Amino acid sequence: MYYTKFIMKNNVLKLLNYLYYFSLTVLPVIYLFPGSLIGYLLYGDFGKQPDFIPNPIGTSINHFFFFVYLTALSIICNLNQKRIFTNINFIIFISVFLEATHYIIPNRAFELYDLFANLAGVFTIFLLSKLIK
């Protein structure tokens, strides 16, 4: 019985690990594409950004939710490792670097609100994980 629970737990962690690395692979594709891939998939228009939750700051909330998701996966996948802070540093670097590349990518624009939303998503989960521990 215990062995079965251990295998199931291990399989769930492996699945979450694969999901984390898949998300890290998809993130640059979405960020570096000159237009909105998600807008094209949902609306058939590369120029339209999806606005999943209508709010006054626009589509920056999508950035917040994605980086909450990515940081949470990072922390869950590395629970038994001591180097969790380096993973947070990596995600912060990725969020700043990918948003800064919007200066040079056609049909994309650097937005300070998006950068703040990225960082707020990372720090929200990081602080929440520190409070839980």
Q: How confident is the model at residue 1 (pLDDT cuts 50, 70, 90)?
A: very low
Torsion angle, alpha carbons of 54, 55, 61, 62, to 10:
20
Q: Is the pTM of this model over 0.75?
A: yes
More confident residue, 51 or 88: 88
At 76-125, the pLDDT tens digits run 888 776 665 678 889 999 999 999 998 898 878 888 999 999 999 999 99
At 55-67, the pLDDT tens digits run 776 778 888 999 9
